[in-house]
A and B are shown apart, each in its own frame.
Chain A
Amino acid sequence: MMTTLDDLLWSYQSLIYGLGTNAILGLSMYAVLQLGQLSLGQAAFMGIGAYTGALLTLKLGLPFPLVLAAAAAAPALAALVIGGPTMKLSGVHLAIATIGLGEVLRVAYINTDAMGGALGLSGIPEKADFSIIFGLLAVILAGFILASRSKIGRACEAIREDEDAARVMGIDVSAYKMTALVISAALAGLAGALNAHFSSFIGPNEFAFETAVSILSFAILGGVTTPFGPVLGAFVLTALPELLRPLHDFRLVFNGLIIVLVVIFLPRGILGFRIRRTGKPPPC
Chain B
Amino acid sequence: MLAQQLFNALVLGSVYALFALGFTLTFGVLRVINLLYGFYVAAGAFAALVAVQSLGLGLWAAGAFGVVTAGLVAVVCDFLVLTPLRRAKAPELSSLIVTLGGVLLMNSLMQIAFGAEVRRFPARLLSQDAIAIGPLLVAPIQLVIIATVFVLVAALFWFMERTRLGTAIRAVAERPDTAALMGVNVGLVVSGVSFLSAALSAAAGILIGLDFNAVHPYMGEPMMLRGFAIIVIGGLGDIRGALVAGLALGFLEVMTAGYLSSNLKEAVAFTALILGLWLRPNGLFGRASGKRA
**Which A positions have Cβ atoms within 8 angstroms of B?**
36, 38, 40, 81-82, 84-86, 88-93, 95-97, 99-101, 103-104, 107-108, 111, 164, 209-210, 213-214, 216-217, 220, 249-250, 252-253, 255-260, 263-264, 267-268, 271-272, 274, 276-280
Q: Which of B45-53, B187-195, B219-227 contacts A (4 or more CB under 8 A)?
A: B219-227
Give chain B residues whose Cβ lies under 8 Å from the Cβ of A268.
88, 90
Q: Are B33 and A257 in contact (CB under 8 A)?
A: no
A-B contact pairs, 28 of them (CB 8 A): A38-B93, A38-B96, A40-B100, A92-B33, A93-B281, A96-B273, A97-B273, A100-B273, A107-B267, A209-B221, A213-B100, A216-B101, A253-B112, A256-B101, A256-B104, A256-B108, A257-B101, A259-B102, A260-B101, A260-B102, A260-B105, A263-B94, A264-B81, A267-B85, A267-B90, A268-B88, A278-B89, A280-B89
Q: Are A263 and B101 in contact (CB under 8 A)?
A: yes
Q: How far is the CB of A79 from chain B (nearest CB, A)?
A: 12
List B53-102 residues whose CB lies under 8 Å from chain A. 81, 84-85, 88-94, 96-98, 100-102
Known: A99-B224, A213-B100. A91 touches B112 (CB 8 A): no
**A-side interface mostly:** helix
Give chain B residues whose Cβ lies under 8 Å from the Cβ of A216.
97, 100-101
Q: How far is the CB of B30 from chain A (nearest CB, A)?
A: 13
Give chain A residues whose Cβ lies under 8 Å from the Cβ of B93.
36, 38, 91-92, 95, 271, 274
Assess whether B232 is interfacial by the CB under 8 Å rule.
yes
- How far is A276 from B85 in the complex, measured between Cα atoms in Å? 13
Assess whether B269 is interfacial by the CB under 8 Å rule.
yes
Q: Are A100 and B229 in contact (CB under 8 A)?
A: yes
Q: Are B228 and A96 in contact (CB under 8 A)?
A: yes
Assess whether B199 is interfacial by the CB under 8 Å rule.
no
Q: Are A104 and B266 in contact (CB under 8 A)?
A: yes
Give chain B residues whose Cβ lies under 8 Å from the Cβ of A81.
274
